């Protein structure tokens, strides 16, 4: 077992695709995390995304609340202190904004997925993030296809699973801790992601840590040109925990006068997709998880983290 998270350059796909696929699979199997370089999304685009995020979260609270659905985890704004990690009574020290897919009118999910919400105070926001969403979604789908090759799945397996998927781009703001009553709360308490794959675009500050197989917290160090890729609970269910959904957290900084911004892209299947364990991952025993659809699982988890309101 290696003692560091696998780093992969997408340039290596051109010279040895099979090796890249295997290293991707083994890296995720070992830690649930890999780090991608040369991913093809221009740094200037990501810098601009963070400029818009800062502008968004600097809007007055009453302005942001215009875009709060009242049931977090959908589209638009979710206020500070609304979300908690599964099983944790303390709310995370963060606020966020969700951008989802724009599906075609002939899609079975056209009237099922919530409509996106756009801040009228930032006119360029909609066009920019609609475009960036597509770029991140394409990268995520390509990584799934490569993972499927390593697992010797049918070529269309993951593609069919995520076509019209309910994927989310989340703009995250962890405010300065100065003047806040933090108590036992942290920026993001230990949790696992819900979805198939997460693409975490380089954050503006450190703090991300994963829990390794020995029970130790390991810093996840990446630079502004890299994207951290991790597997979520939906992937662990599909693979019967062969590809783990690794617990991770964002710890509070030593300095209380600095905000942190990050931008995870959560790649989801479509709501009717089956998350039944793949037979080749089960072996002679029973699967670790009962049958469930992606939509049912998402709703269950949103209840558990305090976002889904009935």
Q: Which helix (H) or strand (E) holds 9?
A: strand 6-9
What global pTM score does this model have? Answer: 0.92
Q: Which residues pair with 228 in a beta bridge?
A: 35, 200
How close are the terminal C-alpha atoms of the chain, in Å? 45
pLDDT, tens digit only, all 310 positions of the chain: 346 899 999 999 999 999 999 999 999 999 999 999 999 999 999 999 999 999 999 999 999 999 997 765 689 999 887 777 777 777 888 899 999 998 888 888 888 888 999 999 999 999 999 999 999 999 999 999 999 999 999 989 999 999 999 999 999 998 888 777 777 788 888 899 999 999 998 766 778 899 998 999 999 988 888 999 999 999 999 999 999 999 999 887 777 778 889 999 999 999 999 999 999 898 788 899 999 999 999 888 887 776 655 4
- Confirm whether 153 is domain-assigned: yes
- Confirm whether 283 is domain-assigned: no
- Confirm whether 277 is domain-assigned: no
- Confirm whether 281 is domain-assigned: no
- Residues 96, 78: contact at Cβ < 8 Å? yes
- The CATH number assigned to the domain holding 210 equals 2.60.120.330
Number of folded domains in the chain?
1
Residue 159 has φ and ψ, to the nearest 5°, of: -60, -45
Distance of alpha carbon 287 from alpha carbon 257, whole angstroms: 48
pLDDT at 187: 84
Q: Which domain does 73 fall in, by range?
A: 6-267+296-304
- Confirm whether 279 is domain-assigned: no
Distance of alpha carbon 238 from alpha carbon 278, whole angstroms: 6
pLDDT at 310: 45
- Confirm whether 254 is domain-assigned: yes
- Confirm whether 211 is domain-assigned: yes
pLDDT at 47: 93
Distance of alpha carbon 184 from alpha carbon 221, whole angstroms: 25
Distance of alpha carbon 93 from alpha carbon 20, whole angstroms: 37
- Confirm whether 176 is domain-assigned: yes
């Amino acid at each position: 077992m290696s003692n560091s998270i696998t780093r992969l350059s997408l340039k290596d796909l051109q010279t040895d695709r099979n090796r890249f696929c295997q290293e991707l699979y083994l890296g995720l199997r070992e830690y649930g995390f890999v780090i991608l370089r040369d991913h093809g999304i221009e740094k200037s685009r990501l810098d601009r995304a963070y400029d818009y995020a800062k502008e968004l979260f600097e809007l007055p609270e009453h302005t942001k609340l215009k875009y709060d659905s009242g049931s977090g985890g959908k589209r638009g704004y979710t206020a500070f202190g609304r979300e908690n990690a599964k099983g944790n009574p303390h709310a995370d020290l963060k606020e966020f904004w969700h951008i989802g897919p724009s599906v075609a009118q002939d899609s079975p999910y056209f009237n099922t997925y919530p409509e996106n919400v756009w801040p009228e105070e930032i006119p360029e926001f909609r066009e920019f993030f609609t475009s960036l969403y597509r770029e991140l979604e394409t990268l995520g789908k390509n990584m799934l296809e490569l993972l499927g090759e390593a697992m010797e799945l049918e070529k269309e397996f993951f593609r069919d699973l995520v076509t019209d998927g309910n994927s989310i781009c989340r703009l995250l703001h962890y405010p300065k801790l100065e003047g806040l009553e933090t108590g036992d709360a942290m920026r993001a308490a230990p949790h696992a992601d819900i979805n198939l794959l997460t693409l975490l675009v380089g954050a503006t500050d450190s703090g991300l840590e994963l829990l390794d197989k020995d029970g130790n917290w390991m810093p996840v160090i990446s630079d502004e040109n890299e994207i951290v890729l991790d597997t979520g609970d939906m992937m662990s269910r599909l693979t019967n925990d062969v590809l783990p959904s690794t617990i991770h957290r964002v710890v509070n900084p030593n300095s209380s006068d600095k905000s942190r911004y990050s931008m995870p892209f959560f790649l989801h299947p479509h709501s009717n997709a089956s998350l039944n364990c793949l037979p080749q991952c089960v072996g002679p025993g029973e699967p670790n998880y009962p049958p469930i659809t992606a939509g049912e699982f998402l709703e269950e988890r949103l209840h558990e983290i305090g976002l889904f309101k009935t």
